[in-house]
Structure 1
Amino acid sequence: MRAVRVDEFGGPEVLVTREVPDPRPGPGQVLVEVTGANVMYLDTLIRSGRGTDHFPVAPPYVPGGGVSGRVVEAGPETDQAWLGAEVVGETGPPDGDGEASVPVNGYAERAVLRQESLVRVPEGVGAHEALALMTDGATALLLERAARFTPDSWVLVLAATGGAGSLTVQLARLAGARVIGAARGPEKLALARELGAEEVVDYSEPDWLERVGKITGGGADVVVDGAGGALGTAAFAATADGGRFVSYGTPSGEFAEVDDAEAGRRGITALGLFDLEPADGTGKRDLTRLVLEEARAGRIRPHVGLTLPLERAAEAHGALEGRRVLGKALLVP
């Protein structure tokens, strides 16, 4: 079968499509004929060698942590009812909690998945739509819980047209909040409005924080930061006293920095990515089911902005790193 492999860390050019042996499912696993592979910004960090402190991946490896497809084989001790099912699921090996520990083995024509990671694609939801929601949709639901959107409150969403950001805009609007979508360039701002943002700001403009202040009358009740770095750090100042600042993004390579003393003085609840774990024990699989049901009911929709064949994986990574993707990027075998 064909798979994209990284033989050494480096730029997008190290992503090379090769013929590799077909994987075989072991106990409790299934083999999936892949219809789509999720491409995340995290994949680019690991490929460059910058993510190995948190994700122990070493070349050679096949990147990608999630796929959609049809189950074509079930291994020993696996529920045979999965055969023929259209599913989404994570491809990486499990950690101590049973979740995928590293995003590997997804950019391929066939992939082995643990049956514990499988989620059936509901009728009325397309395979690529389900795949686009699998990881970013779960993240958006966690952001919604942490942000506590309320009717008529002002919500500023940074990276408003990214995979999770575009869904967060929709969830905030469903809650009755007034959304400001922050992104870069007219195309992304237009998409943010299409997704439900009442106002938009271009954070490449020097006066973007002043604009947020004028729109909100002093500051946003909630700031959801998907940009991180200097942009996210600057956005903290746009949070109203007594508001909530939820930061999860690292496209710049680092998280936003929050002055805890300043947050305490202003009564701001500041939360980071690792504060988003659900307190009720809900896992990724449960969150994926929930967000797919929201899509089936027509309440939210992902925006798939880039779909490329496996052979053009380097182009997909380059587009993500160049901030040229609106919504999700997927690879199609």
Structure 2
Amino acid sequence: MRVVVAERPGPPDVLRVTTGPNPVPGAGQVRVAVEVAAVTFNDTMLRAGSGLGRPVRFPVVLGNGVGGVVDAVGDDVDPGWRGAVVVTATGGTGGYASTALADVVDLHRVPDGLGVRDATALLADGRTAVGLHEAAGIRPGEVVVVSAAAGGVGSLLVQLATASGAQVVALAGSGPKLRLARELGAWSTLNYREPGWLDRLDHLAPDGVDIVFDGVGAELTAALSARVRRGGRYLPHGAAGGRWGDLDAHALDGRDVTVVPLDAIGPTPADLRRLVERALELAARGALRPVVGQVFPLELAAQAHAAIRDRMALGKTLLLP
């Protein structure tokens, strides 16, 4: 098989393609002939050796989400899985490869009407977006801020919040990203890298905002959380700004603002599985559109990581083995 290996932590160019034997599924496992591998922000953090991601041992094959066809099963696995078109997690690593192992309990059949690329794009981001949307309990007419609105999760949240009747204010850092957010239904868009954007937000929502989905963190956290009005909800879910932001818990408690941490989304494996299935079902019937902004061949995995690092990526980034 062909596989992308990071021999050591470092910049994107530590990723290199090599070959090796196909893995053999063990008890409770299947092997997937990978058609699509998802690339995540967390992958870039793990590659860089950052504390934002969980520690890994090098050398490592990154990638925790793939789509493809089951081509081998463990001795104790139902042979009916062989030939199934699936998307699946891979246990945290091992996805940047032409074949990958997965636990049978993690498999999701790709529903009719949905392609493998779109299904793979939804595996992690769809689960997160649907979980955040459910936890927020959006009511029609509420003002909802989505930061990192053109990212994999943010682009889905813009759609879900709009469908719930919210007035969505999408935050992003470039013209193309803002245009994408508007195409997805955002009520208003703001470039948070431009001076005066907070004044414009205050003009749009003079009484404060009801909900913030924060995928950027860093300095945005303090600015946005201060603008959540009484009874609102704040849902931090990413650190695209390079670090998690700091919340003033005392001030938020004083306004009766509910903070929903990311680890509260899908607290059990069954919950996570339901959220993935829900995202796939919504996409299959056209109610949710994953945005696949960049597709790279396996050999250009370093370029995929660089695009995410440099915050040039739109929507989801995928690799094709």
Q: TM-score range by the shorter chain?
A: over 0.9
Give the corresponding residue for 1:3.
Answer: 3
Residue type at the aligned position of 1:164: V
Secondary structure class of the residue paired with 2:318: strand
Please give the per-residue CA displacement for 1:121-148, whole angstroms capped at 9, x wherever unaligned: 0010000000000100000011112211
Preserved CA contact (<8 Å) 2:266 2:275 = no
In the alignment, structure 1 segments of 5+ residues that lack a partner are: 93-102
Give the corresponding residue for 1:77.
Answer: 76
Aligned ranges for residues 1-333 of structure 1 at < 5 Å?
A: 1-51=1-51, 55-92=54-91, 103-278=92-267, 282-333=270-321
For residue 278 of structure 1, report the CA deviation from its aligned partner. Answer: 4.5
Residue type at the aligned position of 1:111: A
In structure 1, distance between residues paired with 2:138 and 2:313: 27
Shift in CA distance, 278/55, structure 1 to aligned 2, threshold 3 Å: closer
In structure 2, distance between residues paired with 1:188 and 1:51: 27
Preserved CA contact (<8 Å) 1:212 1:238 = no
Preserved CA contact (<8 Å) 1:118 1:285 = no
Identity among equivalent pairs (%): 43
Preserved CA contact (<8 Å) 1:34 1:109 = yes
Shift in CA distance, 278/57, structure 1 to aligned 2, threshold 3 Å: closer
Please give the per-residue CA displacement for 1:68-97, whole angstroms capped at 9, x wherever unaligned: 0001111110011111110000112xxxxx
The range that moved more, 231-240 or 32-41, is: 231-240
In the alignment, structure 2 segments of 5+ residues that lack a partner are: none
Residue type at the aligned position of 1:241: R
In structure 2, distance between residues paired with 1:196 and 1:25: 44
In structure 1, distance between residues paired with 2:34 and 2:314: 23
Preserved CA contact (<8 Å) 2:295 2:319 = yes
In structure 1, distance between residues paired with 2:108 and 2:183: 29
Residue type at the aligned position of 1:40: T
Report the RMSD for the aligned CA atoms in angstroms: 1.4
Preserved CA contact (<8 Å) 1:209 1:238 = no
For residue 20 of structure 1, report the CA deviation from its aligned partner. Answer: 1.5
In structure 1, distance between residues paired with 2:163 and 2:227: 23
Preserved CA contact (<8 Å) 1:249 1:255 = yes
In structure 2, distance between residues paired with 1:276 and 1:242: 20
Secondary structure class of the residue paired with 1:288: helix
In structure 1, distance between residues paired with 2:262 and 2:228: 18
For residue 253 of structure 1, report the CA deviation from its aligned partner. Answer: 2.8
In structure 1, distance between residues paired with 2:272 and 2:320: 23
Secondary structure class of the residue paired with 1:283: helix
Residue type at the aligned position of 2:77: T
Preserved CA contact (<8 Å) 1:167 1:301 = yes
Residue type at the aligned position of 2:29: Q
In structure 2, distance between residues paired with 1:241 and 1:212: 17
In structure 1, distance between residues paired with 2:129 and 2:45: 21
So what's the TM-score if we normalise by structure 1? 0.93
Please give the per-residue CA displacement for 1:145-196, whole angstroms capped at 9, x wherever unaligned: 2211110111010001111111011111111111111101110000000011
In structure 1, distance between residues paired with 2:318 and 2:116: 11
Secondary structure class of the residue paired with 1:139: helix
Please give the per-residue CA displacement for 1:36-60, whole angstroms capped at 9, x wherever unaligned: 00100000111111148x6231111
So what's the TM-score if we normalise by structure 2? 0.97
In structure 1, distance between residues paired with 2:37 and 2:205: 39
Number of matched pairs = 321
Runs of 4+ in 1 over 3 A off after TM superposition: none
Preserved CA contact (<8 Å) 1:228 1:247 = yes
In structure 2, distance between residues paired with 1:232 and 1:310: 35
The range that moved more, 139-148 or 191-200, is: 139-148
Preserved CA contact (<8 Å) 1:226 1:232 = no
Preserved CA contact (<8 Å) 2:46 2:55 = no
